[in-house]
Structure 1
């Protein structure tokens, strides 16, 4: 994309403002005065008044169109006055006059193009921010009895949103949490993430069973893929889009606590971090969303696993969707649930080694148990990931921490 880079433009505006007022006019004005003064104090054999063509050029880079046009006219007038003050034999004459005049006109035109592209870029950023707020909507803190914090890092510095998604949905059957990662990048991944979040927000509120919520997500993923296929999109070219995800249910307020329910669609298993240490929740032995039909007939993946914390798996009945089992997992009141996308676990250092998330968090929490607070835990993982990858992320990265709000002590 042409035009100024958002970060560069923001930094420039910050540097060229003093007490909230623009001082972008100062550098070209100082240059104009300096050229005029130096030229007036040199010999006729070394004239630099033609350098004044640089003034509107610099103004075009940092000023608005009116400011640049003003400096173009001011440069031309200054050139005429300074050059006329010299004896006839020492004047630079018509060629340099044409140079300054044409240079000012070109600088003004270039400034108009730059300003137009900056406005276009800012409009696109507004559209991207609106899309981000739609997909990754702002969440109150705390909300529905949960304290939480999240960080989203785009692998592309120009991007504002990608295929990673997360949300919290309170309802009469408890509070449900979803974090996932759509395979692929770009707008198709964003479209799929938005479709899954829409389904989650409705089904998580209305459905009493977490297995049914999981089934609705699996069916929605298949419908989305079929929709794109019918449009002649990516699946028609042999790309089977899917999404890994973790679905978590916290019991309603007033219900016996000490446990959560988890459905893992082939995603990185969450970590439970508390003062007593960091432990890994059951692995994601289920298939990703959109690939449940690969499990074949019968109970969903992992249905036969033996675990004291696993409930009976509820496979889809009406739709035939196969979903992973619902696992009942203990969670202490002082533990924080940490969920990440593969941008964290697959971050590599210069030697190609993956980021050791579990070890990194366990070591930090052992040294300072207060790091289990969601906001501090998210910052810990964010800084560790960026440091490990030397700020070169290979994939979109989401870090999400959540835990029940502790009751106030009386």
Structure 2
């Protein structure tokens, strides 16, 4: 084996042993989240809206503010079902909360926290999402997850290089003719499954890294390629009345008549603008879209348009990372593939760990047979000096 490949094997091995448990957690939570919206609907049978047309945004916001006693900061759809609206507000303790309203009647059908620290604070899937995104540890946990994604990308690339068969050897890899012992079977499965899922891990890791470090990545790329930066409004000093929320939604709908409403971010004194998020037919994001219209909250002037279909190519590629990460870019088959890839991560970790311990145990047995004490043999096999 060439020296470069021996180094690659050691890096791949030790990254897997050291970070593999975290990757296993990420894989299991990620696999769960692939269908979390459908699971939420199944678990919470009360989360159902009526078949009628949605009420105006201002009316839904007024209902939510009367119930919560707090100003609503955003109004959006819960999922692709579009029969429920979410009204987000910040409570007196500074914690974000979300009311779920029947879009056609305004009846409140549920409540949850978007960023729960316990499963009881909202839907269990949101808690799983917080584990997957930031280990329920705020920004520091998010950085750890982002860095682990960088290491996963490295180990996936190394694994593909290590496992790639020489020309003409693919048949022996696929047909388990030489898989005799348990170790051979586990190693061959580890290698074959790694080749099958390795490229998936590469794309998943890239998407996860981007979503974790989106701001610095976009800032850096914006220096060298054409990227559309978010509109940065000046803080408001006037006491003017905000434009009606439904008016902002209507303006966006006129600009994109075929698009569906996704979310409305409410204006504040620091950011006196409405941001209406839409999804156009044909966008990669299955239900949340990447089209947005920013309007002056007082005059109603359109300040910026982000077109999810016709914007700069780099923007569209970056916006697609979420859909690639969770598989929805490739429909149901893509989501199933991502789920299987996530479930495979703990299996990779366990098989790799077992093979590592097995190899060292066999070395210890061999040294013991040659006259070295069993304890000394085991310590030597583990790479430690006897004291």
* TM-score of Structure 1 vs Structure 2, range by shorter chain: under 0.3
What TM-score, normalized by structure 2, do the two folds share? Answer: 0.21
Higher RCO (CA < 8 A, seq sep 6+): 2
Q: Which protein is richer in helix relative to its size?
A: 2
Structure index of larger Rg: 1
